[in-house]
Structure 1
Amino acid sequence: MDLKEIQNLIKFVANSGVAEVKLEMDDVKITIRTTLEGHSSDVTYVQQMPAQNAIPQAVVPQQIAPAVSIPTAPVEENAHYITIKSPIIGTFYRKPSPDKPLFTEVGNTISKGDVLCVIEAMKLFNEIESEVSGKIIKILVDDMSPVEYDQPLFLVDPS
Protein backbone atom coordinates (compact mmCIF):
# COMPACT_ATOMS: atom_id res chain seq x y z
CA MET A 1 0.00 0.00 0.00
CA ASP A 2 1.56 3.31 -1.03
CA LEU A 3 1.35 6.70 0.68
CA LYS A 4 -1.33 8.02 -1.71
CA GLU A 5 -3.64 5.07 -0.92
CA ILE A 6 -3.09 5.62 2.82
CA GLN A 7 -3.91 9.33 2.49
CA ASN A 8 -7.12 8.50 0.56
CA LEU A 9 -8.07 6.01 3.28
CA ILE A 10 -7.51 8.67 5.96
CA LYS A 11 -9.76 11.13 4.12
CA PHE A 12 -12.47 8.47 3.65
CA VAL A 13 -12.43 7.51 7.34
CA ALA A 14 -12.46 11.16 8.47
CA ASN A 15 -15.54 11.87 6.33
CA SER A 16 -17.38 8.69 7.34
CA GLY A 17 -17.82 9.59 11.01
CA VAL A 18 -16.33 6.28 12.22
CA ALA A 19 -14.30 6.48 15.44
CA GLU A 20 -11.66 3.87 14.59
CA VAL A 21 -10.65 1.67 11.66
CA LYS A 22 -8.05 -1.10 11.74
CA LEU A 23 -6.77 -2.58 8.50
CA GLU A 24 -4.35 -5.49 8.43
CA MET A 25 -2.90 -6.86 5.20
CA ASP A 26 0.04 -9.16 4.44
CA ASP A 27 2.84 -6.97 5.77
CA VAL A 28 1.06 -3.73 6.73
CA LYS A 29 -1.10 -2.88 9.71
CA ILE A 30 -2.95 0.47 9.72
CA THR A 31 -4.98 2.00 12.55
CA ILE A 32 -6.90 5.24 11.97
CA ARG A 33 -8.57 6.89 14.96
CA THR A 34 -10.78 9.95 14.72
CA THR A 35 -11.74 11.93 17.78
CA LEU A 36 -14.89 13.71 18.82
CA GLU A 37 -15.26 17.38 19.75
CA GLY A 38 -12.67 18.92 22.04
CA HIS A 39 -10.30 15.93 22.18
CA SER A 40 -6.76 15.60 20.88
CA SER A 41 -5.97 15.57 17.17
CA ASP A 42 -6.50 12.50 15.01
CA VAL A 43 -3.54 10.21 14.44
CA THR A 44 -2.88 7.49 11.91
CA TYR A 45 -0.28 4.80 12.47
CA VAL A 46 1.24 2.47 9.88
CA GLN A 47 3.15 -0.51 11.13
CA GLN A 48 5.28 -2.70 8.88
CA MET A 49 4.84 -6.34 9.90
CA PRO A 50 7.88 -8.64 9.63
CA ALA A 51 7.67 -11.27 6.91
CA GLN A 52 7.02 -14.79 8.23
CA ASN A 53 10.28 -16.14 6.80
CA ALA A 54 12.36 -13.20 8.00
CA ILE A 55 13.97 -12.88 11.41
CA PRO A 56 11.52 -11.15 13.77
CA GLN A 57 12.46 -7.61 14.65
CA ALA A 58 10.94 -4.85 16.75
CA VAL A 59 8.63 -2.61 14.77
CA VAL A 60 7.71 0.85 16.01
CA PRO A 61 4.57 2.56 14.66
CA GLN A 62 5.24 5.87 13.00
CA GLN A 63 2.91 8.80 12.63
CA ILE A 64 2.01 9.41 8.98
CA ALA A 65 -0.44 12.31 8.91
CA PRO A 66 -3.16 13.81 11.06
CA ALA A 67 -6.66 13.25 9.73
CA VAL A 68 -9.22 15.99 9.31
CA SER A 69 -10.96 16.84 12.59
CA ILE A 70 -14.72 17.25 12.78
CA PRO A 71 -15.83 20.87 13.27
CA THR A 72 -17.75 21.56 16.48
CA ALA A 73 -19.79 24.64 15.45
CA PRO A 74 -22.69 22.79 13.69
CA VAL A 75 -23.24 20.59 16.75
CA GLU A 76 -23.65 23.64 18.99
CA GLU A 77 -26.07 25.46 16.67
CA ASN A 78 -28.22 22.29 16.34
CA ALA A 79 -28.17 21.54 20.08
CA HIS A 80 -31.90 22.20 20.60
CA TYR A 81 -32.87 19.72 17.85
CA ILE A 82 -33.41 16.00 18.40
CA THR A 83 -31.20 13.71 16.36
CA ILE A 84 -32.74 10.51 15.04
CA LYS A 85 -29.98 7.93 14.68
CA SER A 86 -29.65 4.66 12.81
CA PRO A 87 -30.44 1.65 15.00
CA ILE A 88 -28.58 -0.73 12.63
CA ILE A 89 -25.86 -0.93 9.98
CA GLY A 90 -27.13 -1.06 6.41
CA THR A 91 -28.16 0.93 3.35
CA PHE A 92 -30.38 3.99 3.87
CA TYR A 93 -33.39 4.49 1.57
CA ARG A 94 -35.74 7.50 1.66
CA LYS A 95 -38.60 5.66 -0.09
CA PRO A 96 -40.14 2.18 0.20
CA SER A 97 -39.40 1.32 -3.45
CA PRO A 98 -38.07 3.18 -6.52
CA ASP A 99 -41.57 3.92 -7.87
CA LYS A 100 -43.05 5.14 -4.54
CA PRO A 101 -42.93 8.67 -3.02
CA LEU A 102 -40.44 9.69 -0.32
CA PHE A 103 -41.33 8.88 3.29
CA THR A 104 -40.59 12.44 4.43
CA GLU A 105 -39.05 15.73 3.30
CA VAL A 106 -37.36 18.64 5.05
CA GLY A 107 -40.11 20.81 6.52
CA ASN A 108 -42.62 17.97 6.99
CA THR A 109 -44.28 17.55 10.37
CA ILE A 110 -43.92 14.03 11.75
CA SER A 111 -45.59 12.17 14.60
CA LYS A 112 -44.30 9.46 16.88
CA GLY A 113 -44.52 6.15 14.98
CA ASP A 114 -44.29 7.65 11.47
CA VAL A 115 -41.95 5.75 9.12
CA LEU A 116 -39.04 8.03 8.18
CA CYS A 117 -36.90 5.72 6.05
CA VAL A 118 -35.93 2.12 5.36
CA ILE A 119 -32.56 0.56 6.15
CA GLU A 120 -31.63 -2.57 4.27
CA ALA A 121 -29.52 -5.01 6.24
CA MET A 122 -28.75 -8.49 4.90
CA LYS A 123 -31.54 -8.31 2.29
CA LEU A 124 -34.11 -7.34 4.94
CA PHE A 125 -35.78 -3.93 4.70
CA ASN A 126 -36.28 -2.42 8.17
CA GLU A 127 -38.70 0.49 8.53
CA ILE A 128 -37.28 3.16 10.86
CA GLU A 129 -40.06 4.86 12.81
CA SER A 130 -39.86 8.20 14.57
CA GLU A 131 -39.72 8.10 18.35
CA VAL A 132 -40.59 11.81 18.57
CA SER A 133 -43.04 14.27 17.08
CA GLY A 134 -41.88 17.48 15.42
CA LYS A 135 -40.69 19.03 12.19
CA ILE A 136 -37.90 17.60 9.99
CA ILE A 137 -35.16 20.24 9.90
CA LYS A 138 -32.46 18.34 8.04
CA ILE A 139 -31.89 14.95 6.42
CA LEU A 140 -28.27 14.05 7.16
CA VAL A 141 -27.83 11.03 4.85
CA ASP A 142 -28.12 10.71 1.07
CA ASP A 143 -30.53 8.20 -0.40
CA MET A 144 -29.03 4.75 -1.10
CA SER A 145 -25.92 5.38 0.99
CA PRO A 146 -24.44 3.09 3.66
CA VAL A 147 -25.05 3.99 7.31
CA GLU A 148 -23.39 2.84 10.51
CA TYR A 149 -24.96 1.97 13.84
CA ASP A 150 -25.85 5.15 15.78
CA GLN A 151 -25.14 7.40 12.77
CA PRO A 152 -27.32 10.56 12.76
CA LEU A 153 -30.02 10.38 10.06
CA PHE A 154 -32.45 13.25 10.74
CA LEU A 155 -32.62 16.47 12.77
CA VAL A 156 -36.07 17.12 14.24
CA ASP A 157 -37.35 20.30 15.86
CA PRO A 158 -39.65 19.06 18.66
CA SER A 159 -41.35 22.46 19.22
Structure 2
Amino acid sequence: MKAKEIQELIDFISNSGLAEVKIETDEFKLSIKKNSDTPVVKHSENLIPQFAQAAPAPAPVETAAAPATNYLEVKSPMIGTFYRSPNPDAEFFVNVGDTIQKGQPVCIIEAMKLFNEVESEVSGKIVKILVDDASPVEYDQPLFLVEPQN
Protein backbone atom coordinates (compact mmCIF):
# COMPACT_ATOMS: atom_id res chain seq x y z
CA MET A 1 0.00 0.00 0.00
CA LYS A 2 1.44 3.36 -0.98
CA ALA A 3 1.45 6.45 1.22
CA LYS A 4 -1.09 8.19 -1.02
CA GLU A 5 -3.45 5.21 -0.76
CA ILE A 6 -3.13 5.27 3.04
CA GLN A 7 -3.92 8.99 3.12
CA GLU A 8 -6.96 8.43 0.85
CA LEU A 9 -8.15 5.65 3.17
CA ILE A 10 -7.76 7.92 6.20
CA ASP A 11 -9.68 10.70 4.42
CA PHE A 12 -12.42 8.24 3.48
CA ILE A 13 -12.73 7.00 7.07
CA SER A 14 -12.77 10.57 8.38
CA ASN A 15 -15.68 11.42 6.10
CA SER A 16 -17.60 8.17 6.69
CA GLY A 17 -19.44 6.92 9.73
CA LEU A 18 -16.80 4.27 10.37
CA ALA A 19 -14.93 4.44 13.66
CA GLU A 20 -12.25 1.82 12.99
CA VAL A 21 -10.73 -0.13 10.09
CA LYS A 22 -8.18 -2.96 10.23
CA ILE A 23 -6.35 -4.33 7.19
CA GLU A 24 -3.96 -7.29 7.39
CA THR A 25 -1.91 -8.81 4.59
CA ASP A 26 1.22 -10.95 4.50
CA GLU A 27 3.28 -7.76 4.15
CA PHE A 28 1.71 -5.42 6.71
CA LYS A 29 -0.94 -4.77 9.34
CA LEU A 30 -2.78 -1.47 9.28
CA SER A 31 -5.19 -0.30 11.95
CA ILE A 32 -6.91 3.06 11.67
CA LYS A 33 -9.09 4.19 14.53
CA LYS A 34 -11.02 7.42 14.58
CA ASN A 35 -10.70 9.24 17.93
CA SER A 36 -12.67 12.46 18.01
CA ASP A 37 -11.67 14.29 14.81
CA THR A 38 -8.12 12.94 14.44
CA PRO A 39 -7.45 9.55 12.82
CA VAL A 40 -4.59 7.54 14.29
CA VAL A 41 -2.55 5.06 12.28
CA LYS A 42 -0.72 2.15 13.91
CA HIS A 43 1.46 -0.36 12.12
CA SER A 44 3.37 -3.42 13.15
CA GLU A 45 6.88 -2.96 14.57
CA ASN A 46 8.57 -4.87 11.74
CA LEU A 47 7.78 -2.05 9.30
CA ILE A 48 10.17 0.44 10.90
CA PRO A 49 13.42 0.61 8.91
CA GLN A 50 16.53 -0.67 10.63
CA PHE A 51 18.27 2.69 10.71
CA ALA A 52 15.20 4.33 12.29
CA GLN A 53 15.51 2.06 15.29
CA ALA A 54 19.24 2.73 15.63
CA ALA A 55 19.10 6.48 14.96
CA PRO A 56 19.78 8.63 18.01
CA ALA A 57 17.05 11.07 18.94
CA PRO A 58 18.74 14.49 19.03
CA ALA A 59 17.29 17.37 20.96
CA PRO A 60 14.97 19.67 18.99
CA VAL A 61 16.75 22.36 17.04
CA GLU A 62 16.05 25.70 18.67
CA THR A 63 16.68 29.25 17.53
CA ALA A 64 15.75 32.66 18.81
CA ALA A 65 12.91 33.64 16.53
CA ALA A 66 10.74 36.68 15.98
CA PRO A 67 6.95 36.26 16.17
CA ALA A 68 5.89 33.26 14.09
CA THR A 69 3.20 35.28 12.29
CA ASN A 70 5.77 36.42 9.69
CA TYR A 71 6.89 32.89 8.92
CA LEU A 72 5.68 30.34 6.41
CA GLU A 73 5.39 26.66 7.31
CA VAL A 74 6.64 23.65 5.39
CA LYS A 75 4.12 20.93 6.33
CA SER A 76 4.13 17.16 6.14
CA PRO A 77 2.24 15.89 3.08
CA MET A 78 1.51 12.55 4.81
CA ILE A 79 1.64 10.51 7.98
CA GLY A 80 4.97 8.81 8.56
CA THR A 81 8.42 9.13 10.09
CA PHE A 82 10.39 12.36 9.57
CA TYR A 83 14.06 12.14 8.58
CA ARG A 84 16.35 15.15 8.14
CA SER A 85 18.83 13.23 5.94
CA PRO A 86 18.60 10.64 3.15
CA ASN A 87 20.43 8.05 5.28
CA PRO A 88 21.96 7.89 8.78
CA ASP A 89 25.48 8.72 7.57
CA ALA A 90 24.52 11.62 5.28
CA GLU A 91 24.34 15.32 6.11
CA PHE A 92 20.95 16.90 6.79
CA PHE A 93 19.02 18.24 3.81
CA VAL A 94 18.70 21.66 5.54
CA ASN A 95 19.75 23.36 8.76
CA VAL A 96 18.61 26.47 10.61
CA GLY A 97 19.92 29.50 8.73
CA ASP A 98 19.96 27.79 5.30
CA THR A 99 18.27 29.56 2.41
CA ILE A 100 15.97 27.25 0.46
CA GLN A 101 14.21 27.53 -2.88
CA LYS A 102 10.75 26.33 -3.84
CA GLY A 103 11.06 22.71 -5.00
CA GLN A 104 14.22 22.02 -2.98
CA PRO A 105 14.21 18.76 -0.96
CA VAL A 106 14.08 19.51 2.78
CA CYS A 107 13.46 16.09 4.38
CA ILE A 108 12.16 12.56 3.88
CA ILE A 109 8.93 11.11 5.22
CA GLU A 110 8.92 7.32 5.44
CA ALA A 111 5.53 5.65 5.23
CA MET A 112 5.00 1.92 4.77
CA LYS A 113 8.68 1.36 3.85
CA LEU A 114 8.44 4.01 1.12
CA PHE A 115 10.80 6.96 1.47
CA ASN A 116 9.19 10.12 0.10
CA GLU A 117 11.34 13.19 -0.48
CA VAL A 118 9.52 16.34 0.67
CA GLU A 119 10.15 19.45 -1.40
CA SER A 120 9.62 22.94 -0.06
CA GLU A 121 6.64 24.81 -1.43
CA VAL A 122 8.16 28.13 -0.36
CA SER A 123 11.44 30.00 -0.76
CA GLY A 124 13.21 31.64 2.14
CA LYS A 125 15.45 31.08 5.14
CA ILE A 126 14.94 28.20 7.60
CA VAL A 127 14.43 29.78 11.04
CA LYS A 128 13.25 26.76 13.02
CA ILE A 129 13.02 22.97 12.67
CA LEU A 130 9.90 21.87 14.50
CA VAL A 131 10.37 18.08 14.51
CA ASP A 132 13.12 15.81 15.87
CA ASP A 133 14.88 13.50 13.44
CA ALA A 134 13.31 10.00 13.24
CA SER A 135 10.07 11.22 14.87
CA PRO A 136 6.55 10.33 13.78
CA VAL A 137 4.61 13.10 12.04
CA GLU A 138 0.97 13.59 11.13
CA TYR A 139 -0.56 14.77 7.87
CA ASP A 140 -0.31 18.58 7.53
CA GLN A 141 1.93 18.88 10.63
CA PRO A 142 4.33 21.84 10.40
CA LEU A 143 7.94 20.66 9.97
CA PHE A 144 9.89 23.87 9.35
CA LEU A 145 9.37 27.62 9.82
CA VAL A 146 10.66 29.66 6.90
CA GLU A 147 11.22 33.40 6.71
CA PRO A 148 10.02 34.30 3.20
CA GLN A 149 12.37 35.99 0.75
CA ASN A 150 11.53 39.56 -0.18
Which runs of 5 or more structure 1 residues have no equivalent in the other structure? 1-21, 24-30, 35-75
- Report which of the two has the higher share of helix: 2
Could you give the per-residue CA deviations for residues 20-59 of structure 1, whole angstroms, max 9, x where no partner exists? xx89xxxxxxx6679xxxxxxxxxxxxxxxxxxxxxxxxx
- The reply to whether residue 106 of structure 1 matches residue 106 of structure 2 is no
Give TM-score scaled by structure 2 length.
Answer: 0.56
Offset at residue 100 of structure 1 (A):
0.8
In the alignment, the residues of structure 2 paired with residue 142 and residue 33 of structure 1 have an alpha-carbon distance, to the nearest angstrom, of 25
Counterpart residue number, 2:80? 90
Counterpart residue number, 2:124? 134
In the alignment, the residues of structure 1 paired with residue 143 and residue 37 of structure 2 have an alpha-carbon distance, to the nearest angstrom, of 22
Amino acid at match of 1:77: P
Offset at residue 156 of structure 1 (A):
0.3
In the alignment, the residues of structure 2 paired with residue 129 and residue 115 of structure 1 have an alpha-carbon distance, to the nearest angstrom, of 4
Match of 2:135 among 145, 152, 158: 145
Higher relative contact order, chain-length normalized (CA < 8 Å, sep 6+): 2
**RMSD, aligned α-carbons:** 2.1
SS of the counterpart of 2:69? coil
SS of the counterpart of 1:126? strand
In the alignment, the residues of structure 1 paired with residue 37 and residue 120 of structure 2 have an alpha-carbon distance, to the nearest angstrom, of 31
What is the total number of aligned residue pairs between the two structures? 90
Amino acid at match of 1:147: V
